[in-house]
Chain A
Amino acid sequence: MMRFNTLVRNPADWMTGAHPERGAVLTSRIRLARNLRRHPFPGWAKREQRAEAFSLLRPAVEALPAMKDAFSQELSDLSSVQKQVLVERHLASREHAARGDGSGIVIERRQTFSFMLNEEDHLRMQAIRPGLQLQATFEALSALDTALESSLEFAFDPTLGYLTTCPTNLGTGLRASAMLHLPGLVLGDQIGQVLQAVGKIGLAVRGLYGEGTESLGNLYQISNQSTLGESEETIIRHLERVIAQVAHHEQNAREKLLEDDPEMVADKIGRAYGVLRHAHIIDSKEALNHLSLLRLGGSVGIFPASTAPLCDSLLMEIQPAHLQHHTGRKLSPEERDSIRAKIIRERLQNHPSPDKSNPSPAETGPDDGSATPSDDS
């Protein structure tokens, strides 16, 4: 069986994936909730009943061909830092990481698929891919769901669909979401309008807002809310259309900024680069906001296109549990800020200086790395 250190040694496929659309849309995620027909839901089950459900779920998931040589553990066998690393990698939910006995997790080698056993539902399965590809991600996960039906009997009602612990997930049990990077809309002061519009059509948008409408790192998540009354395809098609539109607005906003005020854009990105390149103490808030600008620089030609994937993996590496796993011991917040700065400096050591001669949103970048700048429309 795969060991924890082996699993997390490499970045996930969706963090480094050579996806052509690495612009405004970072990742697409699909989650399906399923329950066993004859077993009480995990939160209501007695200890033995949970153990019994677990003993059915685990071998069924491990037997999937896609999960060959997967990482598979009971949560009680993982340390709290290990669990936290899985949360930071989006492989486990925070609620799941808080569980112990009778709950478990099975993660595919490339970290594309992960199965949480005895989460709030008996089975929470998810798939993540880079860029905007919700439909393809759903199809891949749905195939695994179908394969599981031959060994597990899922709770299903002809009227209510897949039965879930919480009625907010009834029907398809589907939560589809995308993570978006929207610095252009934030700098251009249009983010409020765009998000308001998205919120009005029944989708949920989240961001961590500081002052006003800015979000930490300019990162936003858009997802469906309703799971009953629409097919998986309808939900996903709708979501993909809206997300593509937001990405398109972002692209326009970037173009307009560069046209109206190239000096301001170059200044912001240059300063962010300077801080990240030379800081010795940096907290995660500051790091996120500067990495956001660095990433923007990668998509408007100030930096090579390979800057975006570099930023995406740094976003992950500088989080608290990753830092502690990296150093192999518990760290005080002060130590974390120093080590965070050190990791960023090292990763940017050979990174080129800003080239502000010809920033352009359509720029492909001279040395085309593993990804090309944004074109999400």
Chain B
Amino acid sequence: MKKCDFCDSKATVFLTQLVDGQTKKVCLCDQCAQERGVTDPTGFSLADLILGGIAAAAAATQSGEGPPPPQGSGKKCPACGFTMEDLHRVRRFGCAECYTAFRDEIGPMLRGMHRGPSHVGKVPAGLAALHVKHQRLQDLRGRLEQAIASENYEEAAGIRDEIKALGE
């Protein structure tokens, strides 16, 4: 008799997943299968439920020799108080700022998880415009300083107008 992975009852549902060419098999009894929602083969949530868990766990073992990093690194997210120990416990982050606070720790973790280390794809439109404007201002301010330094006041006035037109 095959036993359920979650309790000792007889397993009746066998879930197999192929992830990166590796077969992962989970055996569940009727009740555990019901509780975890794996009896509905059309259930899309199956993907996130099981894949999320397995992928995160696999990435953790691949990159960080499994168990948590050196204890008491003491680093905390300044915005939400989250620590790396929390991450290893819940496998989720606390807020957007965490990604800045733990940037160095996150890098190796992503390697086993994704195709590449950096984002290629959609950028929020507002942010893209803001990004462009930011760079344009940076550029104009540089030119303004130069114009003033070289006492080219006519050009400086023109640049000031441009900066003003950008709303700064």
Contact = CB atoms under 8 A, between A and B. Distances in A.
Interface of A: 26, 29, 35-41, 43-44, 87-88, 90, 93-95, 120, 142, 145-146, 149-150, 153-163, 165-168, 170-172, 174-175, 177, 179, 195-196, 198-200, 202, 204-210, 213, 215-217, 219, 221, 223, 225-234, 284, 288, 315-316, 319
Q: Which of A195, A204, A205 has the most CB of B within 10 A?
A: A204
For B37, B91, B92, B106, which residue has the most chain A Cβ atoms within 10 angstroms? B92
Contacts of A93: 44-45, 48-49
Interface residues of B, number: 61
A174 B48 CA distance: 12
Nearest to A169: B52
Given A161-B121, A163-B99, A204-B51, 17 more contacts: A38-B96, A40-B80, A41-B92, A41-B95, A44-B94, A142-B122, A157-B96, A167-B110, A168-B51, A170-B114, A199-B22, A200-B21, A217-B42, A223-B47, A225-B19, A228-B118, A230-B120
Contact of A40 (B47, B95, B109): B95
B163 interface: no
Interface string B86-104: 0000111111100110000
Main secondary structure of the interface of A (DSSP, over half): mixed
Interface of B: 13-23, 37-52, 55-56, 59, 79-80, 82, 90-96, 99-100, 106, 109-110, 113-127, 131
Given A166-B56, A208-B38, A44 B80 contact: yes
B120 A231 contact: yes
Given A41-B94, A219-B41, A230-B116, A156 B127 contact: yes
A209 B15 contact: yes
Given A167-B93, A205-B17, A172 B45 contact: no
A145 B22 CA distance: 34
Nearest to B114: A228
Nearest to A38: B96
